[in-house]
Amino acid sequence: MREPEVTVGLAGEHGLSTEEYEKILAILGRTPTYTELGIFSVMWSEHCSYKNSLKMLRTLPREGEMLLVKPGEENAGLIDIGGGLAVAFKIESHNHPSAVEPYQGAATGVGGIMRDIFAMGARPIAALDSLRFGDLSDDRVKYLFDGIVRGIGDYGNCLGVPTVAGEVYFDNAYKGNPLVNAMTVGIVRHDRVAHAVAKSPGASVFIIGSSTGRDGIHGATFASEEIGEKSEAKRPHVQVGDPFTEKLIMEATLEIIQSGCAEGVQDMGAAGITSSASEVAAKSNLGIELDLDKAPLREEGMIPYEIMLSESQERMLIIAKSGREDKIKEICDKWEVNRSIFGTITEDGNLRVRWKGNVVADIPAGSLNAGQGAPVYEREAAEPAYLKKVRNDDLSVLPAPENLTGVLERLLTSPNIAKKSWIYEQYDTMVQTNTLQLPGGDAAVIRIEGTSKALAMKTDGNGRFVYLNPRRGAGIAVAESARNVACTGAKPVAITNCLNFGNPYKPDAYWQFKEAVLGIGDACRALATPVTGGNVSFYNENPDGAIYPTPVIGMLGILDDVKKMVTAHFKNPGDIIFLAGENKGEIGGSEYLQIVHHKVSGDCPSLGLPEEKNLQEFLVEAAELGLLQSAHDISEGGLAVALAESCILNSENRPGAITEFSSPIRPDFLIFGEDQSRAILSVKPEKADEIRRLAEKYTVPTAAIGIVTKQPFQIYLNERLILEADINELSKLYESAIEEEMIL
């Protein structure tokens, strides 16, 4: 292939602006080669450089006593959990690839985030996902849903890592642009943490794993543009995964690190060889020289441009310690992993690429790296016009439904609330045998082998709330993910985030992004959960419009004693049911408003961060003192759904509940409103006074509202029965809704 002449027009076709092309000319002092243009285009794409988001991301709280690395320093965040152990965790998106090739897009998203974790020397112990789709009645949505879930399940199952938690929402805002956010959590000893740096000029650079092909070329730039009618033609930009090879690479990489053979380790993810090599060099203040003739290829006739930009999966970059090269080869051979020395660390600070004896790229590595030489912008922001309209919608005039039991039944069959077993039964949730809380509860809990500790983890993010109020809605995402973790008895300690938004060049989309980042910062500071890192996914738009702005929060919590873990379901008839928190009857952005009144309007629920902090500390101490039989966060569907779920989730001994409230709030708003900072608790009668005293200590409004029964399920308001149902019938509706939709 003859390389085309590089011009400003060709640079534009690569997603570079005229100003950026001129900056490249100034950096190099000459016209770039075709390979160099490709390198700049992927490294300066939004996906790799965060050029339109970095300025705002730097406003997030990024310091904390437990943080062992700063955000962006390594492949993932790292939290000290005591006893010489650390937790590596991170979440990333694979939205655009999954929209055009759902199975492989989702599978390789899982594979990529796994490599980020074991590149640090951490063994992955849990996977989570956060998914968004259009209306499930749509045939293409079903196709995407099925393919994405299978891709996640097959990859994780083959790798032997349990998929233990997540969330999924269905709304037409995501019809043309599904969201696939994957999170992985791993454990590593402090003395075995690997870093994405080189230390010694002259050190050998290995590429290990799969051979390099043409799949995934320009995947990073594909992720930095809107989805349109031509996106189907970009299937070659979607990588193809091989989880069996990844398993071997994981074991080889961990053994290389544990045997002390590596100076540095870097995953080859977005932008492949280009990003891994240039990022290691830039972070190390050193250079790197690569000989592409020594890179294993699986296709004939590949040119340097293709080799450097390929995003073929299951590849790692290893910087060898001097004299340990043969040991690395021996370990790779043991695990039947391809390996080749194809580069050397240099002192000059450049990324230099050779091919057939010629230098085809010679670029200062720092000029490519996010936060160093890559551009950083702050785009124009303007409040969207729709906000005034939706905020002025008077929800108080909505007609009140006559049959509240019927409303509850409709809510329990909504795919956003109904049981997600159709999804998680495709996942191996028990491999490694450390899963203490299975999918379906408030948060997953994973035992840490050899200790009395466990980790609680959850993903959360309500796009409707952020659509109605970006700053507060994003704060709610942090608060709810932390509340879910606290309901298990674990202390929330840190987050990773995946920020899914529209085109940053559109002022309303950039305003949503800015406000959401500010909201995340507000909540993380108030709850003492610093941001360890994450991912930004812009350009989530299609010809029908943008998605709801959807920041997804991955929350990590620590449970010091696994024996103190709390589950979400009611246990025994006679236990007293408490409501912790205050009822306000806020229905803006609620599932009730959407399902019954077909509206997404009003303002999202209010959020008092001091009150939220008090509630979470109350929940954690109540668990520590052994006062709780159960604790369940109140979220989608409000009080009525939370109460019903607390019964339904006990599949072995399905109890009922009789509850009573005194309130001036209209009935439907009271029991279906999604007011924040609330939880449903059950307590043995002899522990009731202790719960009240503890609630007073934390100034958490807490009231006994009922009792766990064998049957029935009833809600009274102001001494009048307003809702009555057979819990077994509710269970059937809740458990079968998604499966029946997918069968049909």
Read off the pLDDT of residues 97-109 as tens digits, 9 standing for 90 and up: 999 999 999 999 9
Task: Categorize the per-residue pLDDT at 215 as very low, low, confident or very high, splitting at 50, 70 and 90.
Answer: confident
Q: Which of 169-183, 221-235, 450-464, 477-491 has the lowest mean pLDDT?
A: 221-235
pLDDT at 545 over 90: no
Q: Grade residue 227 by pLDDT with cuts at 50, 70 and 90.
A: low
* Mean pLDDT value across residues 360-384: 95
In 3-state terms the chain splits into helix, strand, coil percentages (rounded to 5) of 40, 25, 40
> Average pLDDT, stretch 616-636?
98
β-strand 350-355 against 287-291: which pairing, if any?
parallel
Q: Topology of domain 63-193+419-562, per CATH? A: 60s Ribosomal Protein L30; Chain: A; (3.30.1330)
How does DSSP classify residue 75? S
Sign of CA dihedral 503, 508, 514, 517: negative
Can you tell me which residue has the tokens 């956003």?
Answer: 416
Map out the domains of the chain as residue ranges. 1-61+194-376, 63-193+419-562, 381-414+566-744
| The pLDDT value given to residue 87 | 97
For residues 720-733, give the mean pLDDT. 97
CA 248 to each of CA 88, 243, 244, 251: distance values in angstroms, whole numbers, following the listed order: 20, 9, 7, 5
Select from 122, 101, 98 the least CA-distant residue to 109.
98
pLDDT at 84 over 50: yes
pTM over 0.75: yes
43: CB partners within 8 A, 6+ apart: 49, 271, 274, 275, 278, 368, 369, 374
Residue identified by tokens 């961060």 is 609
Decide whether 63-193+419-562 matches 381-414+566-744 in CATH topology: no
Please answer whether residues 426 and 153 qualify as being in contact, where contact means their C-beta atoms are separated by less than 8 angstroms. Answer: yes
Q: Which superfamily does 381-414+566-744 belong to? A: PurM-like C-terminal domain (3.90.650.10)
pLDDT at 221 over 90: no
Instruction: Please report the DSSP string for 174-197 in residue order.
Output: GTTS-EEEEEEEEEEEGGG---S-
Residue whose entry in the numeric block shows the structure tokens 């790229």 = 361
Continuous segment of H or E residues that includes residue 9: helix 8-13
Report the SS3 class of residue 290.
strand
The chain-wide mean pLDDT, for the chain, equals 94
Instruction: Name the fold adopted by 1-61+194-376.
Output: Phosphoribosyl-aminoimidazole Synthetase; Chain A, domain 2 (3.90.650)
Q: Cα(110)–Cα(98) distance, rounded to whole angstroms?
A: 11
Residues with Cβ within 8 Å of residue 58, at least 6 apart in sequence: none
Report the catalytic residues: 47, 94
Beta carbons of 490 and 482 less than 8 angstroms apart: no
pLDDT of residue 251 exceeding 80, the answer is yes
Better pLDDT: 231 or 43? 43
Percent of the chain with pLDDT strictly greater than 70: 97
Residue position matching structure tokens 């290990």: 208
Taking a C-beta distance cutoff of 8 angstroms, is the pair 249, 117 a contact? no
Residues 7-32: tens digit of each pLDDT: 999 999 999 999 999 999 999 999 99
* Residue-wise burial string across 564-577, b where 16 or more C-beta atoms lie within 10 A, e elsewhere: bbbbbbbbeeebbb
Q: What is the pLDDT of residues 431-463, one digit of tens each?
A: 998 999 989 999 999 999 999 999 999 999 999
Q: Is residue 499 pLDDT above 50, yes or no?
A: yes
Question: Helix H segments across 160-301?
Answer: 219-222, 243-258, 272-284
667-680 CB burial, b ≥16 within 10 A, e <16: bbbbbbbbbbbbbb
